[in-house]
């Protein structure tokens, strides 16, 4: 039995400003496709014929966003929540314990949720071939390199062929070294995709990193259910070492094997790689959204908000969002994370908060944001409740666009409907519930000296934080 495991804990800093901490790379649409990267991965798994529901490992902040991604596809999956960021080894170990609770002979097909593979047929064939060849081994899929790439790690195979032992893992090389790897023929891009028996992986982990194994085992044993999520025990999981699966197991095990993967694959880890994976016009341009070009070549332009026009430019990446604009030479794609770091150091929010975000009760879209004001478009599901809370530094004015709301304001409960408005002063305790059968739509205007999500004290909460 093969159980797909999707690792969905990354943040994708190099794809800012589309990718944010609260809406990471795997949950955004990078192409003209109708699907996000994690949705594309789920559909790839479904196309391959695996009947077991995937296990998705993600962090607490992304849980409702990931759940929304699954609901939009109408597929089944278990969402396993990491109590803290601890890299891929603990995440896969959690999934292994979960898989064994279904079947003691389970094999894990470990897949990053944020990679792009368009050829689903080649992917399926590779997994089937690997599963037939696999004995008591831990298998890594190594992508056959098409050019000398310096942005990927490499796996060195001990021999040439369909399946061979792993000789070594190599970090991202210089261009000259990458060219040597390409010419040698037995070096592969490290895809981060694996296939192995859950029992074997845990035995090897216990042998090589016993304290990590014990911490994750105790964390899984302390799991509990919260709505549709499985929460691992926090105290034990935080004792686990922060370490990748390659460093913890694959580089040290005597059972490591590598199988060449010849299908299309990209980790879409930068705007330059996004440009390379998409169909280009005759001038080498990729355009997403409302774009006009004149004498422009080899550029990637993505806009979801307004018209972007480019004249007489070459080799640029331009990403336009409602609150941030990135203009960059494509050769500097790896340096976007430095901008994200600057935003953090300056105490700004553009690296963290997306324009549109999902909540357990619905969704929020930021329409406009100024120094002492913010305008939001709020959608509350039928039965959805925003917790009883208070703000110290801001006031809020709600206008009901559609639907029926029950508002608790300073202890008084009233019903409001279309075209009604509610004013909440700073210091007023308030909550709102959708008591209708349709979505409750609200325009919310915040004003005050401190406009930030930190300015909230919740007294009740229908959803665990």
In angstroms, the first-to-last Cα distance of the chain is 34
Going by C-alpha positions, the residue among 438, 443, 447, 450 that lies closest to residue 422 is: 443
Is residue 406 within a helix (H) or strand (E), and if so which, with residue range? strand 405-409
Q: What is the mean pLDDT of the chain?
A: 92
Distance CA 354, CA 28 (A): 11
Q: Give φ, ψ of 99 to 5 degrees.
A: -65, -40
Would you state the structure tokens that stand for residue 396, as one six-digit string? 């809020």
Residue 5 has pLDDT above 80, yes or no: yes
Would you state the structure tokens that stand for residue 439, as one six-digit string? 């979505």
pLDDT digits (tens, 9 = 90+) for 256-303: 999 999 989 999 889 999 999 899 999 999 999 999 999 999 999 999
Q: CATH second-level architecture of 360-458?
A: Sandwich (2.60)
Residue 322 has pLDDT above 90, yes or no: no
Extents of the domains making up the chain: 2-261, 271-339, 360-458
- Looking only at the bridges linking them, the beta strands covering 394-402 and 440-448 are antiparallel
pLDDT digits (tens, 9 = 90+) for 358-408: 788 988 888 887 888 999 999 999 999 998 999 999 999 999 999 999 999
pTM (predicted TM-score): 0.83
Residue 465 has pLDDT above 60, yes or no: no
CB atoms within 10 A of CB 435: 14
Least confident range from 20-34, 144-158, 375-389, 400-414: namely 20-34
Contacts of residue 176, Cβ cutoff 8 Å, sequence gap at least 6: none
Q: Which fold has domain 2-261?
A: Spore Coat Polysaccharide Biosynthesis Protein SpsA; Chain A (3.90.550)
Detail the DSSP E strand segments found in 211-283. Answer: 224-226, 229-231, 256-261
Count of CA atoms in the C-beta half-sphere (13 A) of 384? 19
What would you report as the CA-atom Rg of the chain, rounded to the nearest whole angstrom?
Answer: 24
For 4, the 3-state DSSP assignment is strand
Average pLDDT on 162-169 reads 92
- Helix ranges (H only) for 137-261 are 175-184, 198-208, 210-221, 234-237, 245
């Amino acid at each position: 039995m093969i159980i797909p495991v999707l690792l969905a804990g990354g943040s994708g800093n190099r794809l800012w400003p589309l990718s944010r901490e609260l809406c990471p790379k795997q949950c955004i649409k990078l192409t003209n496709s109708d699907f996000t990267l994690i949705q594309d991965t789920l559909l790839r798994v479904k196309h391959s014929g695996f009947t077991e529901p995937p296990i998705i490992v993600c962090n607490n902040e992304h849980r409702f966003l990931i759940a929304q991604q699954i609901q939009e596809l109408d597929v089944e999956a278990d969402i396993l929540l990491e109590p803290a960021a601890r890299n891929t080894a603990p995440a896969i170990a959690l999934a292994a314990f979960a898989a064994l609770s279904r079947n003691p002979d389970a094999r894990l097909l470990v897949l990053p949720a944020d990679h792009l593979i368009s050829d689903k047929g080649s992917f399926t064939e590779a997994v089937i071939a690997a599963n037939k060849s696999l004995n008591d081994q831990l298998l890594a899929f190594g992508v056959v390199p098409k050019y000398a790439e310096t942005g990927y790690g490499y796996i060195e195979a001990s021999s040439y062929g369909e399946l061979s032992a792993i000789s070594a893992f190599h970090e991202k090389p210089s261009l000259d070294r990458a060219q040597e790897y390409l010419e040698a023929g037995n070096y592969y891009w490290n895809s981060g995709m694996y296939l192995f028996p859950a029992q074997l992986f845990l035995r090897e982990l216990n042998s090589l990193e016993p304290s990590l194994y014990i911490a994750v085992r105790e964390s899984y044993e302390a799991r509990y259910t919260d709505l549709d999520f499985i929460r691992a025990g926090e105290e034990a999981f935080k004792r686990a070492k922060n370490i990748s699966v390659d460093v913890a197991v694959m580089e040290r095990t005597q059972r490591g094997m590598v199988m060449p993967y010849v299908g299309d694959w990209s980790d879409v880890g930068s705007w330059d790689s996004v440009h390379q994976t998409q169909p280009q016009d005759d001038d080498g341009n990729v355009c997403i959204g409302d774009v006009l070009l004149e004498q422009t070549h080899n550029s990637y332009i993505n806009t979801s908000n307004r018209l972007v026009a480019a004249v007489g430019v070459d080799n640029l990446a331009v990403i336009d969002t409602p609150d941030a604009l990135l203009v960059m030479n494509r050769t500097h794609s790896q340096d976007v994370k430095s901008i994200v770091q600057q935003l953090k150091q300056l105490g700004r929010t553009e690296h963290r908060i997306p324009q549109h975000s999902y909540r357990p009760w619905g969704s929020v879209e930021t329409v406009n944001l100024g120094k002492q004001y913010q305008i939001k478009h709020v959608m509350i599901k039928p039965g959805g409740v925003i917790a009883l809370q208070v703000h110290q530094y801001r006031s809020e004015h709600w206008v009901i666009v559609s639907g029926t709301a029950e508002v608790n304001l300073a202890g008084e409960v009233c019903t409001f409907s279309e075209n009604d408005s509610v004013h909440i002063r700073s210091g007023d305790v308030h909550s709102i519930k959708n008591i209708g059968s349709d979505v409750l739509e609200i325009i919310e205007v915040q004003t005050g000296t401190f406009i930030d999500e930190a300015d909230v004290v919740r007294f009740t909460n229908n959803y665990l934080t």
